[in-house]
Amino acid sequence: MTFDMSQFLATFYEESFEGLDIMETELLALDVGEADLETINTIFRAAHSIKGGSGTFGLNDVANFTHVMETLLDEMRDGKREVTQNAVNILLESVDVLREMLSALQAEEELDNERITTVKKKLDDLLAGTSSEGTSSEGTPVASTEKAEADTDTGSGWKIYFKPDEDMLQTGNDPVRMFRELAALGELNSVVDSSHLPEFPLIEPENSYLEWDLTLTGNIKKSDIEEVFEWVEDGCELTITPIASDIVTENNAVPASSAVSEKTSAKKSPAKRKASTETSSIRVSIDKVDELINMVGELVITQSMLSQLGEEENFGENQIEKLKSGLMQLERNTREMQENVMRIRMLPISFVFQRFPRLVHDLSDKLDKKIELVLSGESTELDKTVMEKIGDPLVHLIRNSLDHGIETPDVRIAAGKPETGEIHLNAYHEGGNIVIEITDDGAGLNLEKILTKAKGSGLVGENDKLSDEDIADLIFQPGFSTADVVSDVSGRGVGMDVVRRNIRALGGTVDVKTTTGQGSVFTIRLPLTLAILDGQSVVVGEEVYIVPLVAIIESVQVDVSLVNGITGQAEVYRLRNEYIPIVKLHEVFNINPLHADMKDGLLVVVEAEGKKVALLVDDLLGQQQVVIKSLETNFKSIEGISGATILGDGTVALILDVTGLISISKKNASKVKKLTVAA
């Protein structure tokens, strides 16, 4: 009988990725020269487990690569080899390669053999007593043919095939900016393929349908080209080949049809991509499973009781009381079961935080800065779906603090600060939300420079008066950047606007507070889960809408004497000496209100990202928990609406997006202002 091992392969991949995370964490904790033996043992055990498992499943490339790492770690463990910073860096790079190999095998993609060979050579050189950084242990130069071949130019240039994913434009990346940077490297010629462009009525403005064949001639390194596409490597098909590789001599000529076939094949073969960070499984503690089983038992008992009542022929007062009691018990059990099921999806945010020590380690070396990362609140739990989508925005914010926030050691010493900067990543629960703070003790935002750039780019008028808070908020505008030099860390004007857009897509907010010379604090507020929402039902005309309870400050009866029409702006309501813009929901959604006179309506004052608006509604209903259904998945995205839900009577109610309504309010005020000026 043949035993099928494939059923265990998914578990192997999951455990291997966990082992790689352990290896990376422990390598970052290693003290160079005085390494703790237990730390090295932990790294060795993780590598040994991956090697053994990969051998069992026939993943020989992984097993062979891990064997070299294991040999190096074994020598460190036995005291035969000193732990150096160079060795730690090579082992960290090897962990990256192993992660890429396992991700590719899991996705059934081809391995990047060139990268595997290059890093394996570094390990072999280290074991042989030579340095992969260009010199041997005696100081003799060592040739690195792989790097030379990969990084030097061909003398004539490169051919580039570039096909963005359909949703790449939605991440804030623009092919025009990339081509502009390529043109700065050499002479650029481009041929666009628009064959996938749909008919005009079917075009989605935010989608990409084009692909390009680019020819870049000149004395250019391949690494310089790869740097241009670094931001979109996960969102496109990309092939970079030397022009010289297309040139054949008479003795090596190939038929034209064959050449065309090879080119077509290259186009259809997608570039290697990183595996998705989203996982299809989740580890749950046995306590949570036991609680769920107990609740199912309670539901079965309640269902049995109600079924028994339904079978009784004579239904009197006594049976009605039992029915009411049974329904109350059913409601209680359902609510508790819902809470227990949601708890299963809750994971500690340490799963997200664990990637940042490596990021800070690598970038601080690259930027010649000394930076310490402090983590707190790692046990704070968050819904798995939210956690998987918050990782990329956090990476942008951490990189921003590393590059723009923390100063170099000499600048910090001159300013009377410790030479080592600090970035503090903290998470905690607050009012039904999770709050994540990224704090740095760097230079803070240069508000004067931000305002000057904003005026120069037309984001702000020359005579506009902005508060410090409003100026700081400008960094979230699309394409905005204060970097003087474009680097692979920052400066392309892509990032902060994407951060805000992605966080808003999760129903959250992000804001920044800064003190010149002392640092900045970026604060992210997110819902604990994307599946359930506590909401307030409101009536507008014949429709029912749900307002997120967390956004509501208060509701008031309209006093028309407090309604003002400010010149050049929409109507505002004076509430305790604060003027709040009024958003008439019946006008926004083009429906007939129940009350034609504003004094008969109600104002629901809501807040998001530090801004307030008053929503004019006809009436308030009760508060309730609602299950969120995606409107974009089932219909399309609508400004001011974040989703929909099904009410108890079977009707559909739309869930209001407070941030979107505030944006609508600003647009309306701008229109009124333009009309006033024109008049």
650: in domain: yes
- Integer Cα distance of 603 and 559 in angstroms: 10
Q: Is residue 1 part of a domain?
A: no
CA distance 67 to 74: 10
Q: What are the tens digits of pLDDT across the range 294-316?
A: 888 888 888 888 888 777 777 77
Q: pLDDT per residue over 547-562, tens digit each?
A: 888 888 888 888 888 8
**The residue to which tokens 């970026």 are assigned:** 522
State the pLDDT at residue 485. 47
Confidence of residue 203 (pLDDT cuts 50, 70, 90): confident
**pLDDT of 137 over the 50 cut:** no
279 is a domain residue: no
Query: Does 117 share its domain with 212?
Result: no
**pLDDT of 18 higher than 80:** yes
Catalytic residue list contains 590:
no
Domain count, the chain: 5
37 and 142 housed in the same domain: yes
* Within a domain: 257: no
User: For residue 538, is pLDDT > 50?
Assistant: yes
Q: What is the pLDDT of residue 671?
A: 57
| Residues 6+ away with beta carbon under 8 Å from 590 | none
Return the pLDDT at 254.
Answer: 37
Catalytic residue status for 48: yes
CATH number reported for the structural domain that contains residue 22 in this entry: 1.20.120.160
Residue 1 in this model has a pLDDT that exceeds 60: no
Name the active-site residue from 24, 26, 70, 211.
70
Domain check: are 45 and 132 in the same one? yes
Residue 336 bears catalytic tag: no
Distance of CA 124 to the CA centre of its chain: 36
Q: How confident is the model at residue 675 (pLDDT cuts 50, 70, 90)?
A: very low
Residue 651's pLDDT band (cuts 50, 70, 90): confident
Residue 676 has pLDDT above 50, yes or no: no
Specify the pLDDT at position 413.
92
Say yes or no: 574 and 669 in one domain. yes
Is residue 350 over pLDDT 50? yes
What is residue 522's predicted lDDT score, i.e. its pLDDT?
92
Asked whether residue 72 carries a pLDDT value surpassing 80, the answer given is: yes
Per the prediction, the chain carries an average pLDDT of: 78
Do 197 and 222 have their domain in common? yes
Higher pLDDT pick, 213 / 480: 213
* Higher-scoring residue by pLDDT: 135, 424: 424
DSSP 8-class letter at 629: B
Is 8 within 8 Å of 53 (Cβ atoms)? Answer: no
Q: Residue 462 pLDDT > 70, yes or no?
A: yes
The CATH number of the domain holding residue 406 is 3.30.565.10
The closest alpha carbon to 480, from 449, 500, 457, 512, belongs to: 457
CATH number of the domain where residue 231 is located = 3.30.70
Confidence at residue 106, expressed as pLDDT on a 0 to 100 scale: 86
Among 495, 527, 559, residue at a domain's last position: 527
Residue 282 maps to a domain: no
How many CB atoms are closer than 10 A to CB 409?
17
As a whole number, mean pLDDT of residues 267-278 equals 41
For the ranges 41-55, 93-107, 252-266, 310-324, the maximum mean pLDDT occurs at 93-107
> 228-251 burial by CB neighbour count: b if 16+ within 10 A, else e?
bbebbeebbbbbbebeeeeeeeee
Tell me, what's the pLDDT at 212?
92
Chain position carrying tokens 């053999």: 113
How far apart are the C-alpha atoms of 42 and 19, rounded to whole Å?
10
Which of the two residues, 563 and 631, has the higher pLDDT score? 563
Query: How many Cβ atoms from other residues are within 10 Å of residue 333's Cβ?
Result: 19
- Full 3-state SS string of 503-538: HHHCCCEEEEEEECCCEEEEEEEEECCCCEEEEEEE
Confidence of residue 670 (pLDDT cuts 50, 70, 90): low
- Alpha-carbon distance of 41 to 505, in angstroms, equals 43
**173 lies in the same domain as 135:** no
Query: What domain range includes position 237?
Result: 152-246
Query: Residue 439 — pLDDT band, cuts 50, 70, 90?
Result: very high
The answer as to whether 254 is a domain residue is no
The CA distance from 585 to 541, in Å, is 9
Q: How confident is the model at residue 187 (pLDDT cuts 50, 70, 90)?
A: confident
Residues 206 and 176 in one domain: yes
Confidence of residue 139 (pLDDT cuts 50, 70, 90): very low
Instruction: State residue 634's pLDDT score.
Output: 67
Is the same domain home to 365 and 319? no
Share of the chain above pLDDT 70, in %: 82
pLDDT value at 245 more than 60: no
Q: Which whole number is the average pLDDT over 68-94? A: 86
Of 173, 340, 400, 668, the active-site residue reads 400
Statement to judge: residues 320 and 429 lie in one domain? no
114 assigned to some structural domain: yes
* Per-residue pLDDT, 132: 42
Residues in the chain, overall count:
679
* pLDDT given at position 263: 35
User: Quick one: 387 and 523 in the same domain?
Assistant: yes
CATH number at residue 557: 2.40.50.180
Among 278, 312, 344, give the residue marking a domain's end.
344
Query: Taking a C-beta distance cutoff of 8 angstroms, is the pair 382, 347 a contact?
Result: yes
Catalytic residue among 48, 67, 424, 595: 48
Domain match, 144 and 181 both: no
The whole-angstrom separation of Cα 372 and Cα 360 is 8
Terminal alpha carbon distance of the chain: 88
* pLDDT(526) > 60: yes
Domain boundary among 527, 560, 594: 527
Are 567 and 672 in a shared domain?
yes
More confident residue, 578 or 282: 578
DSSP conformation letters of 45-61:
HHHHHHHHHHHHTT-HH
When pLDDT is cut at 50, 70 and 90, the band that residue 259 belongs to is very low
Report yes or no: 216 and 185 within 8 Å, Cβ to Cβ. yes
* Residue 233 lies inside a defined structural domain of this protein: yes
pTM to 2 decimals? 0.59
Q: Where are the alpha helices (DSSP H) in 201-285?
A: 222-228, 256-268
Q: Which of 141-145, 359-363, 378-382, 409-413 has the lowest mean pLDDT?
A: 141-145
Instruction: List pLDDT tens digits, range 423-437.
Output: 999 999 887 678 999
